Structure 1
Amino acid sequence: MFLLVSEFLGRGLQHLFEQNESRYYVSVGSRVPYLAFADDMLVLARCSEDCLDSRVAFFARYQAYFGQRINGGKSSFILSNRASEDTVALVREKLQFQQQMLPFVYLGAPISQGRVTCILLAKMQSRLSHWNSRLLLAGGKLVLLRHVLSSIPVYLLQVLQPPRAIFQRVGRICNAFLWDKADGLKGIHWTSWEKVCFPTSEEGLGVRSFGDMSAAFACKLWWQLRQNRSWWTDFMRVKWLLEVPLVEKVGVVDPPHMLVAEFFGERGWNTGLLQAWLPMGLVRQVQEVSLHPDQEDEMVWVGSSSGVFSIKDGWEALRQKRNLSMADRFIWNRVLLLKISFLVWKVLRNMVPVDVNLQQRGIKLASRCWCCSLHEESLTHLFLDGAVAEQHGTSQGLRGLRWSRRGLFVRWAVRWSSWGGQIYGPWCTSRVTRMIHGALFAAWRPQATRRLRISWKPPPQDVVKLNTDASVSGRRVSGGDLLRDHDGGLIFAFYKEFGDVDVLTAESLAILQGLLFCKRVRVQRLLVEVDSAGLAHLLGSGALAKWPLCNTLRQIRAMLQSFNTTARYIFREANATVDKLAIMEAQVDFFTMTFQQLPRDVRAVILLDSREVPFVRTQIVRE
């Protein structure tokens, strides 16, 4: 019912403005009569008496029909700063609303003209005022920092562009929450916020920089602007986006009226004609553009595996990167508790408040190890060389672990629990030890399996079947196709190398080449099978895919449509013949329609397929 009422309200307002175009709000670009989200509505209109009377009459009919009442206390009107007092009085008399001045908040975002005071700091400080009064462990702080505190600015960053100083202040707030103690007591800030804003595999804590997120959201707006699929993009294009033609960029005097089709023929770009009109640098850029005149142009995000822009892909392309840390990959896992992983992360970077580190920070104190009373309290003595560390490193059932990275981190975790066990009770050590051993050896349990009989199935009579496959071995990327009839007889086979491409692209090129050969031999009814589940899904779903794979997929879809067929996924065992053909590593590409010209092992598998001899496939049974 709510949807029907909202639809009536929206269509009624639209019809109200279409009856008299002078009621539209005067602005450059598209004429938008209103913006609405659920029960929050923003109506954009002129202040003429006719427009006001028509709106008041429509609102009265709406309230009479549906029994809903417009809340005058929550409704208001906003006028230009140059509006006269008579205009203000007229609007207040007609609408019975209160006047509101800029800026105002709509759907949680400030609407203003010019600069606006950033409200990010107030939102984050109000949330922290409730957390600081509670006793939070290091793991709990990290969870709140990753999933709550870092997410507060995300909504506003989609529509605001705060200056760098705001990002620095927000970073200080988050860093203080991470390192400070409960009840607002200041702690030691062992590192800056910018150094922890990296993935855990790159020596960070798995939080994202607010500056990088803001840049990713700016890319999202650019992507939507270039797609031109909304009223917002129409407005922005007319008001702000000024397209500069290539002829103005080059600076040609008295340019000719030529079309792209005159520079692009059946064999591609006409290099000679391009060089006659463009500099060599631009000629190379133009030649890199792949055109398909029979298909519509479509935007592709290069950094995405799907070809469609996402915030994650934009952030990954714009953020600063570090080298991958093998040690940190072992720290952050499901075996260790989050607080233990955080402790090991600090230990590796010497961020533990032992006496030696405190002395280096200017705190004067006498240092003595509390467990042996013989050495000063340092990081290496406490975790590696001390008597208690050695005792717990060789006990607790860890004698069988080799001195590897995993063994080192497990020992550190147990030592930490033992350190806490001497304070909170002996149960802590045994509990953490059992947890670690259970997680380490749970994956070693044998899994149930089942065996399936898989064989190649011949097509129906008067139908031929195309099987394709590709192989990537070292630097050699090759593919092969087989076209067979209902008796399993060979119609054609080919082998081709594709250069330096990935597996999915090689699979796509193999099926495209096979379809081209099918068209050459004038196949009428066709079935296509591939053993790549990803490729079959991409072709069937119509997804865009990454660049330049998307162009190949579009050609494959067009050819499949011309044959009135689809690409079906089969198990690799049913595609064994083409697999043999793809990995044969021939010296040159070849195409044959003769059975005897194929390698011996390929001929043998073709004969087995013609008799539907099955292969065995082992599957893991999921519980």
Structure 2
Amino acid sequence: MLQNDAGEWVFSQDLLRAMVTEYYKSLFSVDSSGELLRLVVPCPKLPWDQLPLLDEGVSLAEVKKALFQMKPWKAPGHDGFQAGFFQRFWETTSSALCQTVTAAFEEGILPNTLSETLLVLIPKVPNPEHLRQFRPISLCCVAYKLITKVLVNRIRLLLHDLVAPNQVSFIPRRQAADNIILAQEIIHTIRRCSSKNGLMAIKIDLEKAYDRVNWSFLRDTLRDFGFSEKWTRLIMLCVESSSLAVLWNGEKLDSFRPQRGLRQGDPLSPYLFVLCMERLGHLIDREVQSGAWKPIKAGRNCPGISHLFFADDLFLFSRAGEAQANKIKEVLDEFCAASGAKISFEKSKIFVSPKAHGSASRMSSLLGIPSTNDLGKYLGVPIIHGRVTKATFKEIVEKVQRKLSTWKSKLLSLAGRATLVGAVTSSIPTYHMMTMLMPKNVTSILDSMNNRFLWGGNEHKRGVHLVAWSDVCTPKSMGGLSLQRMELHNRALLQKTAWRFLMEPGSMWVRFLKAKYGIGDDIFRFLDNKPKGSPTWSSTWKGLARAFSFLSAGLKWRVGNGRTVRFWEDPWLLNVPLTHSLDPSFAIENPGVLVREYINPEGGWNMDKVFLDLPAEVALKDEADVDGGWAWLWKLPLPSRWLHFVWTVRRDRLLTNSMRAAWGVSFSPNCSLCNDGVESVVHVLRDCRYASIEWRIIFAVTLWRLWTRRCDFIMKSEDVSLEANPLISNIMDTAKEVMTALVDPKPAAATNFCVQWESPSDGTVKLNVDGAAKGNPGIAGAGGLIRSSTGAWLMGFKLHLGVCSNVEAELQAIRRGLQLVWDCGYRVLICESDALVAIDLVRNGDVMIHPLGCLIADIRSLLNREWRCTLQHIYREGNFCADWLANAACSLDEELELIANPPDDMRMLLDADARQRPRLRGDRSKRERLDDVFLPGLHWRAIPVRGREQDSKRAYLCSLLLHQARKFKDNCWSVAT
């Protein structure tokens, strides 16, 4: 039941259906009471050279990219098909989809069936009573969304230059945190303002903002921004051709044609709405430039802030005064008259400087907006009007508590509870943590709630905490579960914001902060001069200042040519200067020497000088092994519940009788199965006579079944057999199920194909390169070879890299190979690498912030020389020769070896490439990937098990788990044989 506009309750389903249809038909209809205004205000234009890119034809690759960007299993449209269907059967459906998109772009044709849209009503409040308390979300069919997705992919790259920095929603390289920080700082400025009239901030709430956008206003907006008529017609075709029908209690109601509005759920709608709201920004900028609208400034050189937009969240700022209030009202009225927007005055708020007595009531009266002393939230984050205390984050704590209380922890396994803590409760405060430093008592409460839930407790009862929370929060590779400690999570997110402060000096929020607090070019020097801060700092800036102190401890120089980095006194090799790692008695002759003095002309280290100046124990020191022997566990193809069980076993934290007795919750520590000894983890899972036979068969599956048998025996001993054969049969059946479900699922369609090395055309040489690292990081090498159009060997190289990551090895291979080709005098080149990540970094990586930025810049410089050079990807099966050289380079004694003639061991590979012999490639199953990880060189079809060759998946899994058992044995205990 719902209330109608007269406030009467409607119970009849027939009346409700009629009321719903009529309400939304009226909402999407143009109000004929007044004529819409045409805005005439300066507007930035699209660059003329970008227009052809928008209007060019659609390629199959572009359609495929748009399709696979969609979430596969989101709610379908009226036809019932989801994006996942078309993604799965792309080869079959690609032609029809591409024809549909091409027809829309080139001919302006959109079939009526694509325009049919279902409206699903999502409640905006817990118990809605009126239709206005629902948000209508459009369910469009995939083919239609594919058209608009292609439009979005083309337009979004241009929005950064078209839309002012005051608007941050859906704009690449902008974040909501930018506006949150600005809003907090401006409110802090307003609160501290002591002038007579003061300053004011106005939060504007637009009623049904998307649904009220007038189509003629949208068309004018597109033209004012300089979009071509073809592009404008296509967008308006998508908008105006829609047919809507409300989905009410699973029933499709009568359809109708809207006359205005943008469909929420259409990929294009948010971007069109941003462009429409930008017209309001243009009106405000016009008044600011004329001097009629006085924006808020927090310093002499501070940029004036008149408005902040995030889609339909509007925040306006100005001095408080009658003339300012009238001008704001005039601008808002003009925008509403042109766009069809409607302000909800009762939901809007105005905040005026507290020291400006009487101004709040005057401004409220003039604008018709209620005044307040607390603006509540902005973009989901509470606006700070005082000190940050525990009460500031009370709502977050309560929200986490509500989430936890709705889940029955006793009905969930440890794996299920860990997943919920990591994916849900730990992520709730993340948005706040990006801009605010939470008090320690708040983070402690959140950690306590998560810890209690993880171990099966609740707010009234404490569970058995088998592992300390600090250990649980360590990475999985180090023996933890990779859950988040809230205090450290808060620090990390604030440091990311601080890093953006360093990397984006031209951003509006950075310029505002620098001007407000008088920060120069060196933020660290500024903070060093004010170690205790200042009472005039806002809570937001105090949190960021703390983040810089954490960040500085983790910064180090990225060495390029070494001309500006001091070898001893700058943190470039470690996170601290080398002088901090040396014995105090070690004498340094020249503390200011630069790193470049230790680099040879070829770009490598001058090892003689390094060993001369640096102690041998430091020069030869390897990087610490951060793998605690846990990585193998999380790679096992087993259910998460089993993996978490093995994790507790590895940590020796199973709740056995011995542990229960030690804690005083059991009378006897003895084994419940054999009564022959104390029931420790080792006993129940290995030494018990009922476990010793099964132990030799399978590792992880056996551990799980033994433990569950023990628990079942205690609860219902008369129904549980202790004979070995039934358990072995159960284990083998389980292994078969695991093999079928997780290790070797049958693909629905074969995707195998052949790959071969292809010779270049006459007059062109081909360079194949590869990098290899025995670990990540680990001992690494790079290799490559140059071949002619006939496949003949021209030159090759092997490069020893010391210790580095896989990505760095791949990039080093590309750089060294390109330099070698240039030195050999070849000027028409194809360079191939099987490292798609490295190629993407060369093409799109940010050299300013990436740790390997100097290396990427070198490669780009080589590519831009006066030659014809193409960098492209090749599958691994077509790059075996370069792979051989890279692996051989890992054990190279010297740094670089140039190879004029092919090695004898490579001739078979070279001959296969020269003959362009194909090699089979396909989507390798999980079984094959496990071979690479756990059983290198061992094929599953011929694995000896108990002295026989068995061609079976069961044999494979047994061997796999026995292999892991041996690894487990070496890491944990010695297994009696």
Would you call these one fold, judging by a TM-score over 0.5? yes
Change (3 A) 1:138 1:215: same
- Name the residue aligned to 1:225: 501
For 1:339 and 1:579, locate their aligned partners in 2 and report how far apart those are by CA, in whole Å: 37
Which of residues 555, 565, 576 is equivalent to 2:869? 565
Change (3 A) 1:558 1:82: same
Change (3 A) 1:425 1:70: farther
Secondary structure at the aligned position of 1:467 is classed as strand
1:242 aligns with 2:520: yes
Change (3 A) 1:218 1:103: same
For 1:239 and 1:289, locate their aligned partners in 2 and report how far apart those are by CA, in whole Å: 43
Which of residues 294, 299, 306 is equivalent to 1:33? 306
For 1:455 and 1:385, locate their aligned partners in 2 and report how far apart those are by CA, in whole Å: 50
1:468 aligns with 2:739: no
1:57-76 → structure 2 map (5 Å cutoff): 57-76=330-349
Report the alpha carbon displacement of residue 217 of structure 1 after superposing the two structures with TM.
Answer: 0.8
Paired residue type of 1:115: R
1:526 aligns with 2:829: yes
Which of residues 448, 451, 456 is equivalent to 1:172? 448
- Name the residue aligned to 2:709: 415
Secondary structure at the aligned position of 1:99 is classed as coil
- Name the residue aligned to 2:368: 96
The answer to whether the Cα contact below 8 Å between 1:104 and 1:111 also exists between their aligned partners in 2 is yes
Paired residue type of 2:761: P
Which of residues 897, 916, 936 is equivalent to 1:614? 916
Paired residue type of 1:567: L
For 2:424 and 2:561, locate their aligned partners in 1 and report how far apart those are by CA, in whole Å: 56
1:488-507 → structure 2 map (5 Å cutoff): 488=791, 492-507=795-810
Deviations 1:217-270 (A, max 9, x none): 111111110122521111122234333599999xxxxxxxxxxxxxxxx99749
The answer to whether the Cα contact below 8 Å between 1:347 and 1:379 also exists between their aligned partners in 2 is no
Report the alpha carbon displacement of residue 350 of structure 1 after superposing the two structures with TM.
Answer: 4.3
- Name the residue aligned to 1:303: none
The answer to whether the Cα contact below 8 Å between 2:478 and 2:629 also exists between their aligned partners in 1 is yes
Report the alpha carbon displacement of residue 566 of structure 1 after superposing the two structures with TM.
Answer: 2.1
Which of residues 741, 759, 771 is equivalent to 1:458? 759
Report the alpha carbon displacement of residue 7 of structure 1 after superposing the two structures with TM.
Answer: 2.7
- Name the residue aligned to 1:309: none
Paired residue type of 2:872: R
Secondary structure at the aligned position of 2:318 is classed as coil
Secondary structure at the aligned position of 1:555 is classed as helix
Report the alpha carbon displacement of residue 445 of structure 1 after superposing the two structures with TM.
Answer: 5.9
1:1-150 → structure 2 map (5 Å cutoff): 1=213, 3=273, 4-20=275-291, 23-28=294-299, 29-85=302-358, 87-102=359-374, 104-118=376-390, 119-129=392-402, 131-132=404-405, 135-136=408-409, 137-139=411-413, 140-150=416-426
The answer to whether the Cα contact below 8 Å between 1:465 and 1:484 also exists between their aligned partners in 2 is yes
Name the % identity: 20
1:552 aligns with 2:855: yes
For 2:349 and 2:633, locate their aligned partners in 1 and report how far apart those are by CA, in whole Å: 57
Report the alpha carbon displacement of residue 46 of structure 1 after superposing the two structures with TM.
Answer: 0.9
Change (3 A) 1:588 1:77: closer
1:507-518 → structure 2 map (5 Å cutoff): 507-518=810-821
Secondary structure at the aligned position of 2:655 is classed as coil
Report the alpha carbon displacement of residue 52 of structure 1 after superposing the two structures with TM.
Answer: 1.4
Secondary structure at the aligned position of 2:869 is classed as coil
Deviations 1:324-372 (A, max 9, x none): 354x964896634638835972895446385x65564466x75598967
Paired residue type of 1:233: V
Which of residues 186, 208, 215 is equivalent to 2:491? 215
Report the alpha carbon displacement of residue 608 of structure 1 after superposing the two structures with TM.
Answer: 6.9
- Name the residue aligned to 1:338: 641
Deviations 1:562-616 (A, max 9, x none): 3343212234554455556664858685657xx7x6555667876775xx31345
Deviations 1:538-569 (A, max 9, x none): 33444659965332222212222333432122
Paired residue type of 1:410: W
The answer to whether the Cα contact below 8 Å between 2:686 and 2:695 also exists between their aligned partners in 1 is no
The answer to whether the Cα contact below 8 Å between 1:451 and 1:617 also exists between their aligned partners in 2 is no
Deviations 1:163-205 (A, max 9, x none): 2222222222323334465683444555553343223443434
For 2:417 and 2:883, locate their aligned partners in 1 and report how far apart those are by CA, in whole Å: 52
Secondary structure at the aligned position of 1:44 is classed as strand
Paired residue type of 2:758: K
The answer to whether the Cα contact below 8 Å between 1:573 and 1:615 also exists between their aligned partners in 2 is no
For 1:184 and 1:127, locate their aligned partners in 2 and report how far apart those are by CA, in whole Å: 16
The answer to whether the Cα contact below 8 Å between 1:530 and 1:575 also exists between their aligned partners in 2 is yes
- Name the residue aligned to 1:255: none
Report the alpha carbon displacement of residue 374 of structure 1 after superposing the two structures with TM.
Answer: 6.8
Paired residue type of 2:861: A
Report the alpha carbon displacement of residue 210 of structure 1 after superposing the two structures with TM.
Answer: 0.3
The answer to whether the Cα contact below 8 Å between 2:685 and 2:707 also exists between their aligned partners in 1 is no
Change (3 A) 1:121 1:56: closer
TM-score, normalised with respect to structure 1: 0.72
Secondary structure at the aligned position of 1:151 is classed as coil
The worse-fitting range, judged by mean Cα deviation, of 546-555 and 148-157 is 546-555
Secondary structure at the aligned position of 2:314 is classed as strand
Change (3 A) 1:434 1:546: farther
For 2:762 and 2:427, locate their aligned partners in 1 and report how far apart those are by CA, in whole Å: 60
TM-score, normalised with respect to structure 2: 0.48
Secondary structure at the aligned position of 1:566 is classed as strand
Change (3 A) 1:338 1:166: same
Change (3 A) 1:143 1:435: farther
Paired residue type of 1:34: H
For 1:451 and 1:39, locate their aligned partners in 2 and report how far apart those are by CA, in whole Å: 49
Secondary structure at the aligned position of 1:78 is classed as strand
- Count of aligned pairs between the two proteins: 556
- Name the residue aligned to 2:557: none
Aligned-pair RMSD on alpha carbons?
4.9
The answer to whether the Cα contact below 8 Å between 2:642 and 2:704 also exists between their aligned partners in 1 is no
Secondary structure at the aligned position of 1:208 is classed as coil
Paired residue type of 2:347: K
**Higher relative CO (CA 8 A, sep ≥ 6), structure 1 or 2?**
1
Report the alpha carbon displacement of residue 21 of structure 1 after superposing the two structures with TM.
Answer: 6.8
The answer to whether the Cα contact below 8 Å between 1:458 and 1:487 also exists between their aligned partners in 2 is yes
The answer to whether the Cα contact below 8 Å between 1:124 and 1:152 also exists between their aligned partners in 2 is no
Paired residue type of 1:406: A
For 2:794 and 2:685, locate their aligned partners in 1 and report how far apart those are by CA, in whole Å: 70
The answer to whether the Cα contact below 8 Å between 2:287 and 2:293 also exists between their aligned partners in 1 is no
Deviations 1:59-92 (A, max 9, x none): 222333344331121112111121122x233212
The answer to whether the Cα contact below 8 Å between 2:754 and 2:920 also exists between their aligned partners in 1 is no
Change (3 A) 1:565 1:130: closer
Query: Gaps spanning 5+ residues in structure 1: where?
Result: 250-265, 291-320
The answer to whether the Cα contact below 8 Å between 1:540 and 1:566 also exists between their aligned partners in 2 is no
The worse-fitting range, judged by mean Cα deviation, of 216-225 and 483-492 is 483-492
For 1:465 and 1:214, locate their aligned partners in 2 and report how far apart those are by CA, in whole Å: 50
Secondary structure at the aligned position of 2:474 is classed as coil
1:438 aligns with 2:736: yes
- Name the residue aligned to 2:700: 406
Change (3 A) 1:554 1:54: same
The worse-fitting range, judged by mean Cα deviation, of 370-379 and 438-447 is 370-379
The worse-fitting range, judged by mean Cα deviation, of 31-40 and 530-539 is 530-539
